[in-house]
A and B are shown apart, each in its own frame.
Chain A
């Protein structure tokens, strides 16, 4: 496919004899937003971590722009630069200011001039409404603000694709919204994203495609999120979505 960014073929992952992911296949096109949902322990987070080469894989391959991503490959740091990731727990560097959290990798890894990196960082911070916090340390920010900075930090590396791993799971409800708004605006600007989330309303609104993962395999895949969330085809997806229903 011409505008394909990421292709995953027969991905197999096991850990100490337990199969965590089996025979996963996925193709992500440029600008596409894919939401991965599923019960906890289904392998969603591991799936994202494999794509960013934070985990060894035991079979299959992950191709970014046709180039393999492997944890033990020499060019793994180059590949990771093209794959942005935001984690569930606040992963900002506590000993660096917000601005330096963002510019550290552009300066040290991409060898960009400090002034240019800072300029872009400030523009991005402006976009998420945190330009006035550039000089603060992470501990001075709320959880929602920290996650917005974490997104900016990933964006500043100009990744081909952004992986978001339950980025609102540790947040108070009123902070979830401010973070998800940022994600929605990124989607509008055409960012390619692979999102693991438990926020079903958000998933439904933002997804171009939904993957339902259970027991390490894709149980249901739908390119019509509205239809999927109203009427999932498989019994396992039906049962899972029912757990969000209180009527």
Chain B
């Protein structure tokens, strides 16, 4: 392995990492917002919108991100909606992630005993107050492992961004290999940079999970 090659590539990878992180976290942010929105709609049993949520979740969960990105990037301009590659990336990730988050939140909610809701209602709380103060905090801690898995999954999925010519980590590595054929160096750097991006997330998740343990059911 040629260390001088590695050293000269590091700045390129660093820029790619920053771009990947920026778009990735924007995507994760939108995934949370969309997932929460879907969950509220489902829990408050809002008619019509519930149906929309179901269609959305199934559509996004059952098609590859690659296809979704193609659709956003190449098909939308045909009907006059033109968005930049970067917006396209974070939007695509957010839409996909929203569907996954909605399902993860749902499984967290399913773990909450019905008597929790009933005792909140019996104290005169509205459905919204019950969700906000009693159900969601418990569901959040029950879903923590799933949420963390989603975040890591979404950040890894950024690797398909290269197809819409975003200069993310994957794009940079493929580009450099294509130009200079330093395959080993390029791939080693690629793995290292993905680890730099994702290991802290895993660690943070472990800490969060431990912190949220208090919400466990104790009998």
B129 touches A94 (CB 8 A): no
Q: What residues on B are CB-neighbors of A108 within 8 Å? A: 125, 129, 133
Q: How far is the CA of A21 from the CA of B138 in the complex (A)?
A: 34
- Interface 1/0s, chain B 197-219, versus A by CB < 8 A? 00000000000000000111111
Q: What residues on B are CB-neighbors of A77 within 8 Å? A: 121, 124-126
Q: Choose one: A89, A95, A104; the contact of B113 (CB below 8 Å).
A: A89
Chain B, residue nearest A105 (CB): B123
B141 touches A95 (CB 8 A): yes
- Number of residues on chain A facing chain B (CB within 8 A): 31
Q: Is A228 an interface residue (CB 8 A)?
A: no
- A81 and B124 in contact (CB under 8 A), knowing A54-B118, A87-B119? yes
Q: What residues on A are CB-neighbors of B122 within 8 Å? A: 52, 54, 80, 83-85, 154
- A153 and B123 in contact (CB under 8 A), knowing A91-B118, A108-B129? yes
Q: What residues on A are CB-neighbors of B119 within 8 Å? A: 85, 87, 91-93, 150
Interface range on chain B (Cβ under 8 Å from partner) = 20 to 34
Q: Least Cβ distance of B144 to chain A in Å?
A: 13
Determine chain B's interface SS by DSSP, over half rule.
helix
Q: Is B37 an interface residue (CB 8 A)?
A: no
Q: Is B137 an interface residue (CB 8 A)?
A: yes
- Interface 1/0s, chain B 118-146, versus A by CB < 8 A? 11111111100100011001100100000
- Interface 1/0s, chain A 27-38, versus B by CB < 8 A? 000000000000
Q: Is A157 an interface residue (CB 8 A)?
A: yes
Q: Choose one: A80, A90, A93; the contact of B134 (CB below 8 Å).
A: A93
Q: What residues on B are CB-neighbors of A93 within 8 Å? A: 116, 119-120, 133-134, 138
7 closest A-B pairs by beta carbon, nearest first, are: A139-B218, A81-B124, A91-B119, A105-B123, A95-B215, A85-B122, A80-B124
Interface residue ranges, B against A (CB under 8 Å): 113, 115-116, 118-126, 129, 133-134, 137-138, 141, 214-219
**What are 15 of the A-B contact pairs (CB < 8 Å)?**
A77-B121, A83-B122, A85-B122, A87-B118, A89-B115, A91-B116, A91-B118, A91-B119, A94-B214, A95-B141, A105-B123, A108-B133, A109-B129, A137-B218, A157-B123
